[in-house]
Amino acid sequence: MSAKRRRMQLLDDQKISQEEDEVAIENEKDSVASKYFQKTKMRLPSVFYNKPCIDLAKSFLGQVLVRKLPDGTELRARIVETESYLGGEDEASHSRGGKRTERNAQMYMKPGTIYVYQIYGIYFCMNVSSQGDGAAVLLRSLEPVVGFDEMRKFRSGRRNASKPLKDKELCNGPSKLCQAFDIGKSFNCRDLASDEDIWLEAGYEVPEDNIVSCARIGIAYAGEWTHKPLRFYIKGSQYVSVRNKTAENSVTSGETNSQEDK
């Protein structure tokens, strides 16, 4: 574990124990199982998701996605890359032109609703509905925090398995993270603010200075929308799917998140 990551972990622990205290005080008189505290203390609430698409895509950076497996094991990874898909006018969005079908209905649902769709027959991508009609945020890359072995196992599926994956290869792509977290179509339509098996917990806020904004990936067909800066990632992160050095250099910040390869 690098010094950097240790520092981040410490920051998290501080935040977590703070919130723990607050919740404990709030529920002092209630005799609710401690399990309840475990789940509610860190979970980001419904109101967190109720913001405009671009704001949400940026606020996701630094937050932690948690997945509870059937056996109780919890996987954790920090969101480091997202994309905004706006409503009707966005030619790259599944909701372009106000299109609304059975497949993309979740994009129009309550902010925080998960939209999972299958792509190229074999992969899944996970989005979260935001404020705005037909708007959603695509999760593109995560930095693994807890559960490396499980993620590696879920990811070994259709590959050679000749060489073990590096940590940074576990979740550096929208479908890779779905594999690593074992997220499939059954997660479609669930609510991140209340679901038992998946949720977001407070990590840290990434300052605007440390966010790279650039073009989205894989939407070359979208005309003028192809080059709009609707992809966001933490500057310097080694866990991002595709880095854009040009865009990184135009971000006015001295600090980066460079880390050694693993």
Partner DNA sequence: CATCTGATGTGCT
Partner DNA sequence: GCACATCAGATGA
189: left (phi over 0), alpha (psi -120 to 50) or beta: left
Is residue 144 part of the contact set for DNA (CB under 7 A)? Answer: no
- Stretch touching DNA by CB under 7 A, among 39-47, 64-72, 204-212, 213-221: 213-221
Shortest Å, Cβ 238 to DNA: 10
Q: Which residue type, as a one-letter code, is found at position 174?
A: P
Match 């993270």 to its residue by tokens. 177
Answer whether 98's CB lies under 8 Å from 238's CB: no
Distance CA 119, CA 251 (A): 32
Please list the residues that pair with 117 across neighbouring strands.
125
Binders of DNA in range 224-253 (CB under 7 A): 241
- Stretch touching DNA by CB under 7 A, among 56-64, 65-73, 113-121, 207-215: 113-121
Strands 64-68 and 74-85: antiparallel
* Count of residues touching DNA (by CB under 7 A): 39
- Stretch touching DNA by CB under 7 A, among 1-9, 46-54, 172-180, 189-197: 172-180
Binds DNA by CB under 7 A, chosen from 65, 66, 114, 138: 138
Binds DNA by CB under 7 A, chosen from 25, 121, 196, 260: 121
Is residue 99 part of the contact set for DNA (CB under 7 A)? Answer: yes
Strands (E) across the chain are located at 64-68, 74-85, 114-119, 123-129, 136-146, 198-201, 211-214, 231-234
Is residue 68 part of the contact set for DNA (CB under 7 A)? Answer: no
Is residue 176 part of the contact set for DNA (CB under 7 A)? Answer: yes
Token couple for 94: 């599944």
Binds DNA by CB under 7 A, chosen from 31, 160, 246, 252: 160
Shortest Å, Cβ 243 to DNA: 8
Token couple for 209: 């200075």
- Stretch touching DNA by CB under 7 A, among 12-20, 22-30, 58-66, 102-110: 102-110
Q: Where are the alpha helices (DSSP H) in 173-216?
A: 174-180
Shortest Å, Cβ 121 to DNA: 3
Q: Among candidates 226, 214, 185, which has minimal Cα distance to 96?
A: 226
Residues that bind DNA (CB under 7 A): 83, 85, 92-95, 99, 101-104, 107, 118-123, 125, 127, 136, 138, 155, 158-160, 162, 169, 173-176, 179, 216-219, 221, 241
